[in-house]
Amino acid sequence: MANYFNTKAVHFQKNDGEKNVSKAKPIYQTSAFTFQDLDDMEQYFSGEKEHLYTRYSNPNSDDLGHGTAELEEAPTGLATSSGMSAILAGVLAAVKPGEHMIVPLDLYGGTYQLFQTELQEWGIEVSIIDFRDLQNVKQAIQPNTVLLYAESVTNPLLRMEDIAGLVAMAAERDGMRVMIDNTFPTPYLLKPYTLGADLVVHSATKYIGGHSDVSAGVLIGGEELIGKAKKRMISMGSNLSPFESWLACRGLKTLGLRMQSQSDNAARLAEWFQESGSAEQVFYPEGLSEHGNGAMVSVNLSDAYDIKTFFASLQWIKIMPSLAGVETTVSYPVNTSHRTVPEDIRSALGISVQTVRISVGIEDSRDIISVFSQALEAAKK
């Protein structure tokens, strides 16, 4: 049994037990599985065979769910079609219509929209409040509150959530659970399940896939909640395809190596921005992990720089609405990830028209810094 992260990441996939075993896991690009006779098919329903129909399960998607769970040191996991579908499956496993959940203001915009509109239309009560003071959370708890939801490191201003504080608060109430989006740190830097979270969700589109070529989600937790979430996934048809599962599994194998390199580069870039004086604020976590503090850096540029010229001057650094590939990219939160968040909330959180979110890649940090330096020089008013 492997003890260390990078060994687990390379060897998480199950051996299929076939006579001719491929070194690379085959892609089970099939919508369904065949059986020799009716007794053989009945073995699926008795639990002796694992797969019937790919919407229910597939060896490739199972690998992704269980592999991520192993790295998170959790009992089991479930792969879904996207981070959003993983969030939805987890919430619906933990919260029923008429029950209440509490979530922070500084959420990813897509999650904010899901909680603000869709869930409430389905009869789930949602309070969206400021988590920067957990006293606010305590005061928002109602008799029907069953879930506290948060991001381990927030998007885009990289606030570190007090997961232990949320877990302790939930422990005071019978049946209250904690769900954490751990997309930014990944299990390489942080394992919320080991801190007491009941469910942990990832947009595997990001660091787990790692190469900007797959859309996927993973939900991990205990057998009971993941079992409920799987039923929701099957009913909603939000399973992950075999090929995308295979791609994400390939990415998972190098997660530790990429995160280490990207975190090291991000630390250097954050330090450079601090020293350059070009930003009114530099957002970068501190004390997240012994391995580093993550690969995301956000800045509020000084008004001395024209934001459009800055973005237009970034040479090989691409502008995109997503993050976490091996290439350094930038996004503009007010126009992309937080476009649907009301302006007054963005302003209260510190997200402005000068906010730039940087996903730091694996390039040489000297080249990354050089591009930003030249873009800032070009953008001076």
Separation of CA 338 from chain center:
16
pLDDT at residue 83 in the model: 98
Q: pLDDT tens, 143-154?
A: 999 999 999 999
Asked: is 255-379 a CATH 3.90.1150.10 domain? The reply is yes
Q: What whole-number percentage of the chain has pLDDT above 90?
A: 86
- Strands across the sheet containing 355-359: 279-283, 296-301, 355-359, 329-331, 318-319
Predicted pLDDT at 23: 82
Instruction: Write down the pLDDT at residue 18.
Output: 64
pLDDT value at 366 more than 80: yes
Q: What pLDDT score does 345 carry?
A: 81
Q: Which pLDDT score is estimated for 1?
A: 65
pLDDT for 348 beyond 70: yes
**Under a CB-based contact definition with an 8 Å cutoff, are residues 121 and 257 in contact?**
no
pLDDT over 80 at 46, yes or no? yes
pLDDT of 246 strictly over 70: yes
Domain residue ranges of the chain, discontinuous segments joined by +: 5-252, 255-379
| pLDDT more than 70, % of the chain | 99
Return d(Cα 177, Cα 266) in angstroms, integer. 33
Q: For residue 126, what is the enclosing H or E element? A: strand 125-129
Amino acid at residue number 290: E
Q: Which of 191, 240, 194 is nearest to 89 (CA)?
A: 240
Mean pLDDT taken over the chain: 94
Establish whether the linkage from the previous residue to 321 is cis, with ω within 30° of 0.
Answer: no
Residue 187 binned pLDDT confidence (cut-offs 50, 70, 90): very high
pTM reported for the whole predicted model = 0.94
Higher pLDDT pick, 337 / 333: 333
Give 346 or 8, the one with higher predicted confidence: 8
The pLDDT, as a whole number, for residue 96 is: 97
Read off the pLDDT band of 349 (50, 70, 90): confident
Tens of pLDDT, residue by residue over 68-126, are 999 999 999 999 999 999 999 999 999 999 999 999 999 998 999 999 999 989 999 99
CATH for 5-252, options being 3.40.50.280, 3.40.50.1820, 3.40.640.10, 3.40.50.2300: 3.40.640.10
